């Protein structure tokens, strides 16, 4: 069995030698199907079985264990024969990996059955990935078109299929041509399977916590990888406890719908962080609203004279940051505040700490709670219900928005030796979660994997988003996580973003309604449209009411709504846009957002932070679209108005 495990692990290492591998999960080949599909760069491909026998002499086999080599080969031949036509008339060649078979047992290197000659790669060339790759490169095989390879890959490894409700524009093709299925790419597949199968070569690297971090550019499929991993766990490890967590309800609702399409919705717990925390530790009372918190700060701040020039909003944000990083004691006085922008004197730090301690005392006395202070309270006094969680697998989407205290609490809910799988894009961290992985006890060295190929947006949309970002932020800021130029060139050119006049909220809504009616008349499904609302002048509720009055009842619904109709236009605030996607996206209220940057009461540091945050928010909003984006704004630079 060790030989089989090593051979399966070795298939995942072939990419470094010019051969891609799609591997079926263990046990899926019991019906005679392949263990993997291997594809060379020139289009040669093989359906592969991994045979565990150590001899070809039938009399020496243990009955009921390894079938004779010829029987295993015939089962694979029959499997392929059944699928010729459905998967394409051109079929991959067959290949047998026999990692326990001495080369002297099959001196020709081939097994001949009737009119089929099947290469057999024995123990000598299955020792290392480089040796196996060399053997494969020496083989001749049928070269298949990419669409044929995709259909055979979907047949051999069905879990790589992407069940997406979003359909790209119809591709014209002859009626007798089959459309290629939508699949994970090979790197996405490898990331989804990390650590789900034993790898003897990695046993010495085993740690108390199995950790993987997936990063990548916008639209590269990080969430897709996470959903497929959750589906694999639900299907192949049904006894394991699996928790999938994200930071907001719109994204969690989207993840639940994706899991349902994989028939895994009932076997994976899918919650926002606050939903999960509320299950294990009740808050002390009703949550303080933001206006209430700001009023409390204004009431308590007069004696703290060193803080006089700092706005109440800034002070509120600093108190939140202190709670997020568990700095509610003397440690705050010397803590590094990397990425915070505003420098603080020793006196200001002392008065901020006093303010936080007084605020926490106020919460206890009034039996109220605060969203940012609540996790800190649970960390300080963890209830038995938290320690009893004991998940086998914890998957976190958009982890860049998770405060260090959040990650610490979630990590404590894992069993010893559990698996923590994070998907993150630090350049989208506009909620100021400037976390360091090492600061929360997570060693990501050699455990991080980057997806570089974008899939969601068209080239012209990504270039527009890039240029907008760079027009507002200098190179000294955190670099933008953009696709490399060679990847951008592979994307469909697409339709340029459309910039419409901004103006008052009602004017934007009238233009939006006219644009939506035009889209509906062209046949665009309502569910393919997402409206993102920026700033404070317009609310998600007001936009929905206007659209449901103008376009008909239930035409639009909040993406936060767990029971929203499937065929309705989605509406969300721009701050809740991360992780969402639709073919068409409308951005409202950008002018209101950008106007706040001109507030004369802001310090230079506060203004710089605001510009950085707003730029990231709008960048994220633009990159939510797959095909078309419409922006209502007057404050975009002139170059963007003329270009768009």
Average pLDDT over residues 468-478: 76
DSSP, res 526: G
DSSP H helical segments within 184-311, as ranges? 186-193, 222-236, 249-261, 273-280, 290-300
- Compute the distance between CA of residue 271 and CA of residue 255 in angstroms, rounded to an integer: 9
Cα 570 from Cα 516, distance rounded (Å)? 12
Mean pLDDT, residues 583-595: 93
pLDDT of 34 strictly over 60 = yes
Residue 429 confidence (pLDDT): 55
How confident is residue 475, by pLDDT bands cut at 50, 70 and 90? low
pLDDT at 430 over 60: no
Residue 169: is its pLDDT beyond 60? no
| CA separation for the pair 563, 546 (Å, rounded) | 20
To the nearest 10°, the Cα dihedral for 286, 287, 288, 290? -150
The alpha carbon dihedral of 233, 238, 241, 244 has a sign of positive
pLDDT reported for residue 442: 79
- With cut-offs at 50, 70 and 90, classify the pLDDT of residue 644: very low
466 CB-near residues (< 8 Å, 6+ apart): 480, 482
Structure confidence at residue 1 (pLDDT): 59
pLDDT attached to residue 641 = 47
Most confident option among 64-68, 469-473, 529-533: 529-533
What is the band of 58 on the pLDDT scale with cuts at 50, 70, 90? low
Which of 276, 155, 149, 163 is CA-nearest to residue 228? 163
List the single range of 70-84, 335-349, 403-417, 431-445 with lowest mean pLDDT.
431-445
Each residue of 619-631: pLDDT tens digit?
989 999 999 999 9
Common-topology check for domains 189-281+382-451 and 459-643: yes
Confidence of residue 431 (pLDDT cuts 50, 70, 90): very low
**Residue 77 phi, psi dihedral angles, 5° rounding:** -60, -45
Query: Order of strands, edge to edge, in the sheet holding 529-533?
Result: 498-500, 625-632, 582-588, 529-533, 569-573, 556-558
62-80 per-position pLDDT tens digit: 555 678 889 999 999 999 9
Residue 616 to residue 469: CA distance in whole angstroms: 7
CATH topology of domain 189-281+382-451: Rossmann fold (3.40.50)
| Bridge partners for 110 per DSSP | 119
Least confident among 59-68, 237-246, 299-308, 548-557: 59-68
Q: Which neighbouring-strand residues pair with 572?
A: 532
What confidence score (pLDDT) does residue 434 get?
53
Which of 371, 370, 321, 312 lies closest to 341 in space, CA to CA?
A: 321
Q: Determine the Cα–Cα distance for residues 229 and 419; give it in Å rounded to an integer.
A: 12
Fold designation for 2-165+179-183: Trna Endonuclease; Chain: A, domain 1 (3.40.1350)
Predicted confidence at residue 176, as pLDDT, reads: 40
Average pLDDT, the chain: 86
For the cut 80, the answer to whether the pLDDT of residue 27 exceeds it is: no
Q: Which CATH number is 459-643's, of 1.10.8.60, 3.40.50.2000, 1.10.10.10, 3.40.50.300?
A: 3.40.50.300
Across 38-47, 174-183, 571-580, 625-634, least confident range = 174-183
Asked if pLDDT for residue 466 goes beyond 90, the answer is: no
Give the pLDDT band (50/70/90) at residue 173: very low
Considering the chain, what percentage of its residues have pLDDT values greater than 70?
88
Comparing CA positions, the residue from 291, 246, 319 lying closest to residue 580 is: 246
Tens-place pLDDT, residues 334-346: 998 877 778 899 9
Bridging pattern class, strands 110-113 and 116-121: antiparallel
- Determine the longest span between alpha carbons in the chain, in angstroms: 93
pLDDT band at 428 (very low <50, low <70, confident <90, very high): low
User: Can you give the residue ranges of every domain in the chain?
Assistant: 2-165+179-183, 189-281+382-451, 286-376, 459-643
What is the spatial distance between Cα 236 and Cα 573, in angstroms, rounded to a whole number?
37
What mean pLDDT do residues 368-391 have?
Answer: 94
Local confidence band at 437 (pLDDT 50, 70, 90 cut-offs): confident
């Amino acid at each position: 069995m060790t030989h089989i495990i090593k051979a399966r692990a070795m298939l995942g290492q072939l990419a470094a030698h010019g051969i891609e591998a799609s591997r079926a999960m263990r046990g899926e080949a019991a019906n005679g199907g392949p263990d993997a599909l291997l594809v060379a760069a020139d289009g040669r491909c093989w359906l592969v079985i991994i045979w565990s026998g150590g001899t070809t002499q039938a009399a020496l086999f243990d009955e009921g264990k390894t079938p004779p080599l010829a029987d295993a080969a015939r089962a694979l031949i029959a499997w392929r024969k059944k699928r010729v036509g459905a998967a394409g008339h051109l079929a991959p060649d067959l290949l047998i990996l026999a990692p326990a078979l001495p080369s002297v047992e099959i001196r020709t290197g081939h097994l001949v059955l009737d009119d089929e000659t099947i290469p057999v790669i024995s123990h000598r060339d299955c020792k290392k990935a480089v040796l196996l790759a060399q053997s494969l490169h020496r083989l001749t095989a049928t070269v298949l078109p990419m669409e044929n390879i995709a259909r055979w890959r979907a047949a051999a490894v069905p879990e790589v299929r992407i069940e997406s409700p979003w359909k790209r524009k119809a591709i014209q093709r002859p009626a007798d041509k089959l459309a290629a299925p939508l699949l994970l790419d090979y790197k996405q597949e490898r990331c989804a399977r990390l650590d789900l199968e034993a790898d003897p070569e990695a046993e010495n690297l085993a740690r108390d916590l199995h950790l993987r971090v997936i990063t990548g550019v916008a639209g590269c499929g990080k969430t897709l990888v996470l959903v497929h991993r959750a589906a694999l766990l639900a299907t192949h490890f049904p006894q394991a406890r699996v928790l999938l967590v994200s930071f907001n309800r719109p994204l969690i609702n989207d993840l639940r719908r994706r899991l349902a399409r994989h028939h895994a919705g009932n076997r994976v717990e899918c919650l926002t962080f606050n939903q999960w925390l509320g299950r294990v530790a009740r808050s002390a009372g009703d949550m303080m609203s933001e206006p209430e918190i700001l009023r409390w700060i204004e009431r308590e701040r007069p004696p703290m004279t060193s803080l006089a020039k700092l706005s109440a909003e800034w002070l509120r944000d600093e108190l939140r940051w202190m709670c997020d990083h568990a700095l509610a004691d003397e440690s705050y006085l010397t803590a590094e505040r990397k990425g915070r922008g505003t420098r603080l004197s020793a006196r200001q730090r002392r008065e901020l700490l006093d303010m936080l301690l007084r605020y926490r005392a106020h919460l206890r006395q009034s039996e109220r709670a605060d969203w940012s202070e609540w996790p800190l309270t649970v960390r300080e006094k963890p209830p038995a219900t938290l320690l009893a969680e004991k998940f086998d697998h914890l998957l976190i989407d958009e982890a860049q928005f998770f405060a260090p205290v959040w990650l610490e609490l979630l990590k404590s809910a894992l069993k010893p030796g559990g698996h923590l799988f994070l998907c993150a894009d630090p350049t989208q961290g506009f909620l100021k979660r400037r976390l360091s992985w090492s600061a929360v006890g997570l060693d990501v060295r050699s455990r991080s994997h980057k997806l570089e190929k974008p899939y969601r947006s068209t080239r012209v949309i990504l270039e527009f988003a890039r240029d907008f970002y760079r027009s507002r932020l200098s190179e000294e800021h955190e670099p933008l996580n953009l696709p490399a130029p060679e990847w951008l060139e592979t994307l469909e050119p697409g339709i340029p973003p459309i910039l419409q006049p901004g103006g008052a909220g009602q004017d934007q809504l009238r233009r939006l309604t006219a644009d939506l009616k035009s889209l509906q008349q062209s046949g665009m499904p309502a569910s393919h449209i997402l409206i993102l609302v920026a700033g404070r002048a317009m609310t998600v509720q007001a936009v929905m009411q206007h659209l449901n009055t103008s376009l008909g009842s239930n035409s639009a619904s909040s993406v936060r709504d767990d029971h929203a109709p499937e065929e309705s236009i989605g509406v969300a605030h721009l701050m809740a846009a991360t992780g969402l996607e639709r073919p068409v996206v409308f951005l409202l209220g950008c002018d209101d957002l950008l106007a706040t940057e001109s507030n004369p009461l802001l310090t230079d540091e506060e203004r710089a932070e605001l510009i950085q945050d707003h730029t990231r928010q709008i960048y994220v909003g633009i990159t939510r679209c797959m095909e078309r984006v419409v922006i209502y704004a007057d404050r975009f630079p002139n170059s963007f108005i003329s270009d768009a």
